[in-house]
Amino acid sequence: WFDLLHTVDKCEAIYCSEDFICINGECVPQPTCDNVVCGEDEACRLDVVHCSNPPCLRVPICRSNLTCEMLQCVPGTVCHDGECVPEPSCEGVICGPRQECFLEDPPCFGTPCPLAVPICGPVSRCSGVRCREGFVCIDGYCVAEPNCDGIQCPSGEECYLKEVFCVRDPCPPLPTCHPVLTCDMIGCIPGYVCEDNVCVPEHQEKLPELLELITVLVTVL
């Protein structure tokens, strides 16, 4: 009886290496489309199998080789993973007293991410509130959108707008101070070099010297 009420997640304390996933307490290889042969005009895709404890196993399946760039869906539908599906909406959803329907993005553990799902929640104080440009509704009031104007950070730090997570939009960013990145802290990918604390193409760094040389040659001639 106790076990029925408290299901133990056997994967909670298990860490699997890349390309492996924990299933029932064991690390097993992530399924892939390698060696899967599909028919003509089909392609192998990894479809997520829904489970109670994400991340869920993805199963290779042959489907029509279409992409959203190739499809034009009719009004009321959207393209998702190469298929036209009904557009998420709150139409027909009946909520309880002092509740309203809104669309919530489910957790995303791989591409493409699941579409938003309609759920019921307390009526937002911002429902029906329209704020002028530069303002956003928070708890029923129109307030100025957060920015870094007037924010004084400690020496060696700068202000930036940090994205925050919330259950319902709007989710305005939060002005936050963090250390200024310098070339000593930045690792650029091959073919790029750090200049003025920014990664730029390697040849771009030599461009001013080249222009200076051309100017000298033109002057001499």
pLDDT at 102: 86
Give the residue carrying structure tokens 């073919």: 191
Lowest mean per-residue pLDDT among 1-10, 30-39, 138-147: 1-10
Classify residue 49: in a domain, yes or no. yes
Predicted confidence band of residue 212 (pLDDT cuts 50, 70, 90): low
| Residues facing residue 77 across a β-bridge | 86
| Residues facing residue 58 across a β-bridge | 48
The answer to whether the beta carbons of residues 47 and 41 sit under 8 Å apart is no
| Residues facing residue 30 across a β-bridge | none
Range of the domain at 47: 1-85
pLDDT at 210: 46
Classify residue 57: in a domain, yes or no. yes
Classify residue 128: in a domain, yes or no. no
More confident residue, 68 or 176: 176
Residue 51 reports pLDDT greater than 70:
no
Classify residue 107: in a domain, yes or no. no
Count of domains for the chain = 2
pLDDT tens sequence across 88-138: 999 899 998 888 888 888 777 667 788 888 988 888 878 778 888 888 888
Classify residue 59: in a domain, yes or no. yes
Alpha helices in the chain (DSSP H): 2-5, 202-205, 207-220
Domain boundary among 85, 120, 153: 85
More confident residue, 216 or 45: 45
Classify residue 69: in a domain, yes or no. yes
Lowest mean per-residue pLDDT among 14-23, 68-77, 80-89: 14-23
**The pairing of beta strand 192-195 with beta strand 198-201:** antiparallel
Predicted confidence band of residue 48 (pLDDT cuts 50, 70, 90): low
Q: CA–CA separation, 80 vs 203, rounded Å?
A: 41
Instruction: For residue 81, give the nearest of 115, 123, 39, 127 by alpha carbon.
Output: 115
| Residues facing residue 182 across a β-bridge | none
Domain boundary among 85, 101, 132: 85
Classify residue 155: in a domain, yes or no. no
Classify residue 137: in a domain, yes or no. no
Predicted confidence band of residue 207 (pLDDT cuts 50, 70, 90): very low
Average pLDDT over residues 7-21: 73
Q: What does pTM read for this prediction?
A: 0.41
pLDDT tens sequence across 165-191: 666 667 788 888 888 777 777 777 777
Strongest mean pLDDT among 45-54, 86-95, 208-217: 86-95
More confident residue, 2 or 27: 27
Domain boundary among 24, 59, 85: 85
The answer to whether the beta carbons of residues 176 and 162 sit under 8 Å apart is yes
